Chains A and B, each alone.
Chain A
Amino acid sequence: MARQIADRIAGPLGSLMLQLYIILAVIFLVAPVLAITAGSLTTTQYVVFPPQGITFQWYLRMFDRPEMLGSFGLSLAIAALAATIAAALGLLVALAMVRHKTRLNHLLWLLVVSPMMLPSVVLGFAFLQAYTQMGFGSSLLGLLAGHVVLVTPYAVALILTGLRSLDPTLELAARSLGATPSRALRKVTLPLILWSVVAGWGLAFLVSFGDAAVSVFLNAPEMVTLPVRIFDALRYSPLNPELTAISSGLVIVTLIVLVASASVMRFERLLGGTGQSGKPATKEA
Chain B
Amino acid sequence: MFDFLEGYDVLGAFWMTVKLTALSAVGSLIWGTLLAAMRVSPVPLMRGFGTAYVNIVRNIPLTVIIVFTSLGLADIFGVTMGAADNFDVQGFRLAVLGFIVYTASFVCEAIRSGINTVPLGQAEAARAIGLNFSQTLRLIVLPQAFRSVIGPLANVLIALTKNTTVAAAIGVAEAAALMKTMIENEAQTLAIGAVFAFGFVVLTLPTGLLLGWLAKRLAVKR
Chain A complexes with chain B: no
Chain A residues within 8 Å of B, Cβ to Cβ: none
User: Chain B: residues with CB nearer than 8 A to chain A?
Assistant: none
